[in-house]
A and B are shown apart, each in its own frame.
Chain A
Amino acid sequence: MKTILQANKISKTYGKKGTAKYTAINNLSFEMKEGEFIGIMGPSGSGKTTLLNMVATLDPLTDGEITIDGISVSSMNEDQLSDFRSQNLGFIFQDFNLLENMTVFENIALPLSLQNKKLDKIQSSVHQVASLLGIGDITEKYPAELSGGQKQRTAIARALIHEPTLLLADEPTGALDSQNAATLLDTLVDLNEERKVSILMVTHDPRSASYCSRLLFIKDGKLDRELFPSGTRDEFHQEILAVLGDLDRIPLAGVRS
């Protein structure tokens, strides 16, 4: 298996010169193989979102190096990063981040439009992804007319349409009820297993985490432990709950320096 993501001793320190510094991610390293479905867990404020944003090239690193699909992202300028994101990454956010002034169809098509793909190709791709996600009949609606689950599926369709190397998700189930969350995670698992989409997902929810093929636990900006599923999903769920209970006993938050 190819390595698609490599984080090498990365650190993130917030705060400008003169103000109090705060290290949200501290000398953290991990690797991700193609086709993995990795979950990132940890207490609130432990640095999960920060880590994801660094991988997403949205937040510059203070130290260390990130390589995605063999390309080091630390050395790129703003425009190169933009292009990199639009071609290699797909995003799903907790609050969907759909563009309300565009129809579902336009939202999904956006990544392809940005790459100036032919109209035929765009239309067939959108139809394909939309029907894959079960939103084929609402493509002419605006986001304001959709339910939470439909919005999230639209967001996934948009994140997938350009066949990114890596799909990044920050608490994608956070705004969904358990029914919709389960459907969403089933979809992600399907995508991961059948289409070999690599997924990196931040989540608070142990139920959601149990769908992953590997879990990273972050504490105080450091990798605390890893967890692999061994038995059924329910057993994995129990295991996760145990680990979280363990983590919670220790005070959270990062390191002041």
Chain B
Amino acid sequence: MILKLALNGLKKKQRDYAILFTGLIISIAVFYMFLTLSLNKEFILQNSVINNIQLVFLVGTVMLSVITFFYLFYTNSFLLSLRKKEYGLYELIGAKKLQIRRVFQIETMAITGISLIIGLILGIILSRVVSWVLMNQLNIGFIQFKVVYLPAVFWTVIYYLVTSFITSSIHNLWLAKISIIELLRSEIQNDLLPEKPKNAALMIFLGLFLLAIGYVALYFMETLRFIGLFTAPIATTLGTYVLFVALLPIIVRKWKRNKKVNFKGINSFTSGQLNFRLSSLKWVLATIALLIALSAGAIAGGFAFKNDAFTSIDEHWQYDATLYNPGAAEMAVLDSIPVEEQLTYRMKLDDEFIYLVLDELNAAPPLIRDMVTYEVVRPDPLPEELEIEGGSQIVSDQWFTALYAINPALGGTKSTRIVPLEEYELAEGEEISIVLARTADFSAHIEEWQKLDELQMDIYPDLVTGFDPETDSVATKYAQFKTQYAIASGTFFMGFFLGLAFLTMMASILMFKILSGANNDIRRYDSLRKLGVRRRVLENSLSRELFIVFLFPGILGLLHVFVGMRMFTFIMDEPYYRLWVSILIFLAIYGGYYFFTIHLYRKIVLPKQ
């Protein structure tokens, strides 16, 4: 009976539920996709490149599950707030507390169940799409990849059911304690007068101070390490909350004090709305700012990672191709691209040593990156006589790097001997030629590098003992790039979808909060219409009001990102590279939510006649 009533009540608030649960559905879909990508067992065994990506997605899963927990907790409390009054009425007509509590729990679990079904279907589609895109980008086949992967389904279902059980149980305890009067009254309390902020100056100062600490910790993360890792999120979060709580009411107050502006047109209404809205939403808005920081940060982080695959590979490899015994096929490929510099060295291998020709090296020293100054230089000429200590020749640090660049595949296997030409001629062993080639832009000729690597695959088995073409990869810039790029692409997708999930969660919280207040506004807009305010003017007022509401968390969230991206300097070279692209992507999605909210709001408060 009560359950039937409750179901009806649920139907009436469909719109609010739909908004709340889009966030949940997207979270489930992304969670499932991450899990499928990281758990597919046969797939891991098959592919060494993929191995690395999977760890990335596992990290993503953990991050998503933490935020999802808080999101579920939050939405569950909204859920309760939507139904409080109704539950109060049930109790009034004689339903027992226990019955009501059971209804609430069933409702929550049912909604989670429905979201799980939709989310999993969406997740399967998403895995299909993402794996397909990754496959194409990385030029590898996802042979054993299963889009519908039962362990992933299992863990997704378990995680979401358990989490919503926990959160609804917590709220259930609260429901048990609350009195019937409070339940019935809860809807009226919506419009509290905005209170005068106490100790506002002190609070603002404290907020700024905390933010400053957080930012310093973010900025000097590299030196602060663990201290920074803990201080940054805590201080930034606290700072954000304190600042929003203290600052928002003050801003509107200041605004209203400018009477010239306030008493112009409909401004007094708009600022009045904002005054109430900002002070009732300050906590939510602070949360939104943090979620924005996380989502934009995730998107930008993934993006920067992907770019880093290109920039960091150029840091470490000055030459784009390193070819052992190149044949006509290899040379044809090199001829087809604009090579800026091409160097050839000879090398002999006997049982003990790798021999290189001193004169050849001095005649054409390769470019290297100096490990101390970080500049790209050619090493100074080698002396005629090289000392030998403990069985190996002593060379300068620069030449040490250069020798590795010349002979990346074999350099570490045997001791190297740099000898004059006459001595080299006398040495035993087969001669191997090495060709280094450099172009202006490594990323412009990816296909050629790949072709060269394939050709070298035939040569390596004779060259390197125990080389297995099935599992091992050649020691080239491209091979390293490929691994790096796979991880980076994985991180990019992970970041993007993580960001998207955070963003939908934040948008659903914000939209829910704004739209659930809309019903109170219907009367206000109707009064204004009666008083003779044009529809356009009302529409503008509404857009402006919501713009401000969206603006504040947007600004602070992005500021967090600008500062926070620096944190990544300890794993990549240019975390800020093309940050604007990610910011634009973020703004497009966020803006989309803004316009969608306005649209829904207008439909509620300004119905067409």
A114 contacts B263, C-beta separation under 8 Å: no
Q: A78-B535, A119-B259 are in contact. Are A56 and B530 (CB under 8 A)?
A: yes
Question: What is the interface of chain B mostly: helix, strand, loop, or mixed?
Answer: helix
B193 pairs with A82, CB closer than 8 A: no
Chain A CB within 8 A of B532 CB: yes
In the complex, per-residue mask of A73-111: 1 if CB is within 8 Å of any chain B CB, else 0: 000001101111111010100000111111100100111
A89 touches B268 (CB 8 A): no
Q: In the docked arrangement, what's the CA distance between A73 and B534, Å? A: 16
Complex Cα gap A101–B265 (Å): 16
Flag if B272 contacts A114 (CB, 8 Å): no
Whether A113 sits at the interface, judged by CB under 8 Å, is yes
| A103 surroundings in chain B (CB, below 8 A) | 272
- In angstroms, how far is the closest chain A Cβ from the Cβ of B297? 35
A contact residues around B528 at 8 Å (CB): 99
Known: A101-B275, A106-B268, A113-B265. A83 touches B534 (CB 8 A): yes
Determine the main DSSP class of A at the interface with B. helix
Contact B272 A106 (CB under 8 A): yes
Q: B530 contacts which chain A residues (CB < 8 A)?
A: 56, 58, 85, 91, 97
- The answer to whether B532 touches A142, judged by C-beta atoms less than 8 angstroms apart, is no
Q: Is the CB of B531 within 8 A of A86?
A: yes
User: B179 within 8 Å of A by Cβ?
Assistant: no
The interface residues of chain A lying within 8 Å CB-to-CB of B527 are 97-99
Question: Given contacts A119-B260, A119-B263, A145-B193, are A99 and B269 in contact (CB under 8 A)?
Answer: yes
- Which one of A82, A86, A87, A142 has the greatest number of beta carbons of chain B within 10 Å? A82
Q: 1/0 per position for B169-182, CB-CB distance to A under 8 A? A: 00000000000000
A99–B272 touching, CB < 8 Å: yes
Q: Is A61 an interface residue (CB 8 A)?
A: no
- If A113-B266, A114-B265 touch, does A82 touch B533 (CB 8 Å cutoff)? yes
Q: How far is the CA of A97 from the CA of B527 in the complex (A)?
A: 6
- Interface positions, chain B 252-311, Cβ under 8 Å from A, are 259-260, 262-269, 272-273, 275-276
Chain B interface residue number, banded: 20 to 34
A-B contact count (CB 8 A): 85
Residue A144 CB within 8 A of the other chain: yes
| In contact, B523 and A82 (Cβ under 8 angstroms) | no
A161 to chain B, nearest CB (A): 11
Say whether B524 faces chain A, with CB atoms less than 8 Å apart.
yes
| Interface flag for B425 (CB, 8 Å) | no
Interface status of B191 (Cβ within 8 A of chain A): yes
A100 vs B275: C-alpha distance in the bound complex, in angstroms? 11
Contact with B532, one of A87, A106, A144 (Cβ below 8 angstroms)? A87
CB distance from A76 to the nearest CB of B (A): 12
Selected from B264, B267, B524, B531, the residue in CB contact (under 8 A) with A101 is B524
How far in angstroms is the closest Cβ of chain A from B10? Answer: 29
Contacts of A100 in B (CB 8 A): 191, 524
Look across to chain B and name the residue whose beta carbon is closest to the beta carbon of A126.
B263
For the complex formed, measure the closest distance between the CB of A45 and the CB atoms of chain B, giving whole angstroms. Answer: 22
Using Cβ atoms and an 8 Å threshold, which residues of chain B touch A142?
Answer: 193
Complex CA–CA separation, A84 to B529 (angstroms): 12
A147 at the interface (CB under 8 A from B): no
* Chain A residues whose C-beta falls within 8 Å of the C-beta of B265 in the assembled complex: 113-114, 116
Question: B273 contacts A101, CB within 8 Å?
Answer: yes
Q: Roughly how many angstroms separate A97 CA and B524 CA in the complex, as a whole number? A: 8
Instruction: Give Cα A103–Cα B260 distance, bound, in whole angstroms.
Output: 16
Report A136-158 CB contacts with B as 1/0, cut-off 8 Å: 00000010110000000000001
From B268, B276, B528, residue with most partner A Cβ within 10 Å? B268
Q: Is the CB of A122 within 8 A of B263?
A: yes
CA distance A102 to B262 in the complex (A): 11
Q: How far does the alpha carbon of A26 sit from the alpha carbon of B536 in the complex, in Å? A: 34
Q: Is B263 touching A84 in the complex (CB atoms < 8 A)?
A: no
Q: A58-B530, A82-B534, A89-B532 are in contact. Are A109 and B268 (CB under 8 A)?
A: yes
Residues of B within 8 A of A123 (CB): 259
Residues of chain B with a CB closer than 8 A to A99's CB: 269, 272, 524, 527-528
Decide: A144 and B193 in contact? CB cutoff 8 A: yes
The residues of B that contact A81 with a CB separation of less than 8 Å are 532
Inside 8 A of B264's CB, which chain A residues have their CB? 113, 116
Cross-chain contact of A85 among B193, B259, B524, B532 (Cβ < 8 A): B532
CB neighbours of B262 from chain A (8 A): 106
- Bound Cα distance from A79 to B533, whole angstroms: 9
Q: Are A113 and B267 in contact (CB under 8 A)?
A: yes
Q: With a CB–CB cut-off of 8 A, which chain A residues contact B536? A: 79
CB distance from A94 to the nearest CB of B (A): 13
Distance A142 CA – B259 CA, assembled complex (angstroms): 17
Q: Which residues of A contact B272 (CB under 8 A)?
A: 99, 101-103, 106
Q: How far is the CB of A37 from chain B (nearest CB, A)?
A: 22
Q: Which residue of A is nearest B260, CB measured?
A: A119
What is the CA–CA distance of A144 and B188 in the complex, to the nearest angstrom?
Answer: 12
- Please, could you name 6 A-B residue pairs with CB atoms under 8 Å apart, sorted by A? A99-B524, A103-B272, A106-B262, A112-B263, A114-B532, A145-B193
Other 11 A-B pairs with CB < 8 A, given A82-B533, A85-B530: A89-B532, A100-B191, A100-B524, A101-B191, A101-B269, A102-B269, A106-B262, A109-B263, A114-B265, A114-B266, A116-B264
- The 7 A-B residue pairs with the shortest CB-CB distance, nearest first, are A86-B532, A85-B532, A101-B272, A102-B272, A97-B527, A106-B268, A82-B534
